[in-house]
Amino acid sequence: MAAPKASDQVGSKMAKFKRYLPMYLMFLPGAIYLIINNYIPMGGIIVAFKQYNARAGILASPFIGLQNFEFLFATPDAWVITRNTILYNVAFIVINNVLGIAFAIFICNTLSKKLKKVYQSAILFPYLMSAVILGYIVFAFLSQSNGIVNKSILPMLGKDPINWYSEAKYWPFILTLANTWKGVGYGCLIYISTINGIDPSLYQAAELDNATKWQQIRYITLPFLKPVVITLVIMSVGRIFFSDFGLFYQVPRNSGLLYATTNTIDTYVYRGLMHSGNVGMSAAAGFYQSVVGFIIVLVSNLSVRKVSPENAMF
């Protein structure tokens, strides 16, 4: 596009238009997809204020104000799903970060490059499994009639088999364990790359000063990790109102007896929409999640910007 530079004002405007038009055309297909997949559903959250009628569609369904919300918050479910969603997230954030940092330190401390690679791959691998597979794996352990826990481990300890899929009290531990097994590799990888970026001469200097390994971790490694940890934690806190639908739907095998400890906002919305046919209450719960979730994301990002501006999303 060197030629039109010498032409007059109109010509240069035309040239600019001609120059950038292909760029907008490239942007367009993705934009259309985002409009359909994201923006239209954003507008669709008004369904929470309507008495949804499938034949009329969202726009033509009658407006009923806050009725759906009144029904939702009159049930004990609203409290249970909020509590479960937040408490599980808190547990996951603490455990995954503490273990992730510990494993990252151990892995980076390994001298053998080969072993290092083995550890790193192993810890990432479960992260690549679908929730359905995770559900099957947990089932192989906990199945009432065939599970290895009931058939081999508990008898070996002289204990009676437990009906895992109908006793809600065990599930906070089971789900936390399953989530740790699957998810710890994600944060760990990020911490490994941070530790790899630390200047090795710092450790050499520390060793010359006869610093113990613990002192090296305490005064070199952890301070370097601190901003990354804070960023990751705040980012997870931003997602505290959203749960991993797969984990809470697949791993307890959708067992109704476990809802007290396994129902989260996401599974509640799904069941209301697809099974009990209660679109109104489901939509109200979804709206509650979207809006409160949005506020938390904004607040948490403002906090990231304070701690380490280069990691803030905006």
Segment 255-294, which members bind other proteins (CB under 8 A)?
255-256, 266, 269-270, 273-274, 279, 282-283, 286-287, 289-290, 294
11 binds other proteins (CB under 8 A): no
Q: Which is nearer to other proteins, 74 or 291 (CB)?
A: 291
Residue of the chain from 175, 243, 246, 247 that contacts other proteins (CB under 8 A): 246
Q: Which is nearer to other proteins, 24 or 173 (CB)?
A: 24
Residue of the chain from 190, 211, 230, 307 that contacts other proteins (CB under 8 A): 190
Helices (H) and strands (E) in the chain, counts: 17, 0
Q: Which is nearer to other proteins, 170 or 245 (CB)?
A: 245
100 binds other proteins (CB under 8 A): no
Shortest gap between Cβ of 95 and other proteins (angstroms)? Answer: 14
The residue among 189, 143, 198 whose CA lies nearest residue 166 is 143
Helix, strand, coil abundance in the chain, percent, nearest 5:
80, 0, 20
Which residues in 40-99 contact other proteins (CB under 8 A)? 40-45, 47-48, 52, 54, 57-58
Shortest gap between Cβ of 18 and other proteins (angstroms)? Answer: 10
Q: Which is nearer to other proteins, 175 or 189 (CB)?
A: 189
Shortest gap between Cβ of 246 and other proteins (angstroms)? Answer: 8
Q: Which residues neighbour 129 within 8 Å (Cβ) at sequence distance 6 or greater?
A: 137, 182
- DSSP 3-state of 16: helix
Exposure letters 168-178 (e unless 16+ CB within 10 A, then b): eebbeebbbeb
Shortest gap between Cβ of 190 and other proteins (angstroms)? Answer: 5
2 binds other proteins (CB under 8 A): yes
Size of the site for other proteins (CB under 8 A): 111
Q: State the Cα–Cα distance between residues 166 and 256, nearest whole angstrom.
A: 8
Q: Is the sign of the CA dihedral 147, 148, 149, 155 positive or negative?
A: positive
Q: State the Cα–Cα distance between residues 191 and 225, nearest whole angstrom.
A: 7
Which residues in 199-218 contact other proteins (CB under 8 A)? 200, 203-204, 207, 213, 216
The residue among 9, 1, 198 whose CA lies nearest residue 109 is 198
The residue among 247, 243, 254 whose CA lies nearest residue 286 is 243
Which residues in 102-141 contact other proteins (CB under 8 A)? 103, 105-111, 115, 118-126, 128-133, 135-137, 140-141
**Measured between alpha carbons, how far apart are the two ends of the chain, in Å?**
34
Shortest gap between Cβ of 230 and other proteins (angstroms)? Answer: 12
The span of 5-13, 76-84, 87-95, 198-206 binding other proteins (CB under 8 A) equals 198-206
List residues bridging with 50 in a β-sheet.
63
